[in-house]
């Protein structure tokens, strides 16, 4: 199975040449428009990625809250069942047993 670049862990942490601000060719005055364009494109991409991540974060948080509520409800139900079982076993018998003495 071929993995996409976004699925590889830590790939986004690799510094690229543009990110480190080092160039093999010195800047020329006319290339500032190109640099400005590239920076705008990267800014747009990062804003889009930030939006997607924040939306995903909200969805994950919502699901975590739902899971917590479901767990609490199930734990309460189990506690009620356990309490009902314990109270059933701890009830005194309806009739007390009487001891009879047998003589041989």
pLDDT at position 85 is: 84
For the stretch 30-70, pLDDT in tens is 678 888 999 999 999 999 999 999 999 999 999 999 999 99
| Cα–Cα dist 57/63, whole Å | 10
Kindly report which listed range (3-12, 15-24, 54-63, 95-104) carries the lowest average pLDDT score: 15-24
| Cα–Cα dist 15/2, whole Å | 23
Distances in Å between the Cα of 27 and the Cα atoms of 17, 32, 35, 98 are: 14, 8, 9, 106
Half-sphere exposure for 102 (CA within 13 Å, toward CB): 1
């Amino acid at each position: 199975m071929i993995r996409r670049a976004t699925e590889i862990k830590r790939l986004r942490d690799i510094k690229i040449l543009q990110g480190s601000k080092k160039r093999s060719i010195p800047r020329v005055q006319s290339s500032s428009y190109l640099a400005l364009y590239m920076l705008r494109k990267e800014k747009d991409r990062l804003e889009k990625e930030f939006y997607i991540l924040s939306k995903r974060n909200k969805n994950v948080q919502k699901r975590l809250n739902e899971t917590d509520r479901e767990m609490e409800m199930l734990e309460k139900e189990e506690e009620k069942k356990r309490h009902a079982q314990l109270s059933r076993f701890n009830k005194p018998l309806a009739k007390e047993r009487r001891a009879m003495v047998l003589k041989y």
